[in-house]
Structures are given as C-alpha cells and as structure tokens.
Amino acid sequence: MAEAPVARHAPNEGADRVSMSTILFSIRHLIGALLFASLAVSASAEPLEPYKDALFRYSKLLHEADGGDFRVVDYQELRDINERDQIPERRVKRAYVSLGVKSVQVNETLGLGEWGLDVTRVGPDRGAAFTVIFIHGRGGDRRLGVNDFSFGGNFNRLKNLAVLNGGTYYVPSVRSFDAAGVADISALIRFAAERSGGRPVVLSCASMGSFICWGIARQEATVSALGGMMIMGGPADPDFRKSAAYGARLPIFFSHGSRDSVYPAESQIAFYRSLRSKDYPARFVLFETGSHGTPIRMTDWREALNWILDR
C-alpha cells in the first residue's frame, strides 16, 4: 500500500508461512474496509444549518419549471452589487462576513502529484462530515476561493457553512486545465474522501475550471468518491453521456448568468434539458441579466449543497 500523502504546512499560510504481523495487518485492513463501507452507506449528510440566509437567499423568482429544479432568479446589478458592497466588486459590507473562521484556515502543500499541490484548507483535515472543493477559472489561484470580501462575501459564507456544519473546504491552485490538472484534482478528491472516512465530497468548478469537472467525470474510481458536482458559469460537455459520472447518475447543480459572454447560457440550458429528458438528477439556477462572474457571487451555497447531499 502506498504511503498516504504528506501535508507540509506553510507559515500561516517463509513464502508459504503466514506471519502473525501479516494476519494482524489483514485484520486491520478488513476492519478499516468495513468501517469505510459503513460510513459511505450513512454518508447522506443532514441538511446544513443556516448561516446568514436572509442576506444570501435568492431574491425574486421569475420562472420555475421541472418541479423547481429549473429556476430563473431576478438579478439586478444596482441591488446585488452596489447595495451589497462597500466598494463595488471589491469589498462587501461587513454584515455579510464573519471572520472568526480564519482561525481554522491554513495554507498547505499536499504531497499529491509530481510537485505537490498547494491548497488552502478551511476546517479539519480529518473526519469531515462533508467536503467541498472549489476549482477557480483561468488566471486564478487558491486565494480567490477564500477571499472573504470579494464576490459579495459568498466565499466567506461557504467557509462558515462548512465549519458550522462539521465540513471541510479546500481550494487548490490549479496549474493547468488539461489532463495534468485533472490528475491533481483527482488525487485531491481521493485524499479528501479517505481523510473523511468516505463521507460526501462535492466538486465545484467555475468558468474554465469546469474543464476539470468534466475531466474528473470520466474517471470511474474518482467519481465513486464524489457526492456531486457544481458547474458555475462553465461550458457544457457534449460527450458527458459517455462518462462514468453519467453512468453513476452523479448529481449536478448548474448556475449561470443569462448574459454570460464567455460561455453562453443557451448552450448550458440545452445541456441541462438533455439530461432532464433522461430523468438525470440535475438542477439549474439562471440569473436573469447576470454576467460571467454572477454565479460565483450569487449562488446560494447552502441551497445547492443541501440539494446535492440529499441525493
């Protein structure tokens, strides 16, 4: 058995004779496997306790279909950016954040892949009730997903939701959005699943980071460690039906801005509808008039995670 990955913290940041040791190792391995299996069976997490829901819940609902799984939500820049931020698009008003969560936030380099993987972890490194992994888009790194004041304080809310409910949140710095990047994140998913004892891992990918999600979807062993995926303002995957994730009916939550000029909403909506036509577990929130970055600011993390963890 290979050695478990090592986390290196940054500052603040006879061939026919069975030996007794072999027997004991086998017994321990069997007990561990049974424990892992029992945890996996009971891995359906309880609904996440609220955190500042009155500030972060969706505003006016403009349209609803598919039994509530497809929703069009009213988005207004003047209200959802200018009235929410102290400095528009740079610093949210203080009421939206709670900074005590920084006491359980650490930068570390995990011994994953050829060079190690830089991540920020919020919450315990073992025994998490659930794990969320956020994948940034092009030009980003791990700092984006733990910035307390940008994107309307939505990442601070996610951090607090995770810690409040016994979960762990990881944000890795993705070096590339190709096979090498997929391999890194695949290793992180398996690492998180092992450290939590088989409890749910949710992979959330934003913008170009969605190529990582679609790559992971093709890896059967990694898909088996996932509880669901979130695609936030990303591209559709025309070959998804050939993937291991599709065969496993892995729940997918989509959020998108209707005026996204990078990845048009129409393509993602058509993709969602093709999945729903096969009774696939999918949910879609469309922010009317929203742009490419709107899903990161506006997605209700508690609502999305509760839907996934309840599948």
- What pLDDT is attached to residue 46? 66
* CA distances from residue 282 to 11, 150, 241, 279 in whole angstroms, order as listed: 41, 28, 13, 8
Q: Mark out the alpha helices in the chain (DSSP H runs).
A: 20-41, 53-56, 77, 154-164, 179-196, 210-216, 220-223, 244-248, 265-276, 294-298, 301-309
Q: Which amino acid is at 230?
A: M
* Tens digits of pLDDT across the chain (311 residues): 433 443 444 434 333 333 333 333 333 333 333 333 333 333 445 699 999 999 999 999 999 999 999 999 999 999 999 999 999 999 999 999 999 999 999 999 999 987 899 999 999 999 999 999 999 999 999 999 999 999 999 999 999 999 999 999 999 999 999 999 999 999 999 999 999 999 999 999 999 999 999 999 999 999 999 999 999 999 999 999 999 999 999 999 999 999 999 999 999 999 999 999 999 999 999 999 999 999 999 999 999 999 999 98
Are the beta carbons of 311 and 251 closer than 8 angstroms? yes
Q: Which residues pair with 257 in a beta bridge?
A: 287
β-pair partners for 61:
73
Using the structure block, give the residue that is written with the tokens 């086998």: 26
pLDDT at 45: 54
Q: 256 exposed, middle or buried (CB, 10 Å; 0-12, 13-18, 19+)?
A: buried
Reported pTM: 0.86
Q: Check residue 261 and give its pLDDT.
A: 97
Q: What pLDDT is attached to residue 80? A: 98
- Give the tokens for residue 112: 């994953």
Largest distance between two CA atoms of the chain:
77
Give the per-residue pLDDT at 158.
98
DSSP summary character for residue 83:
T
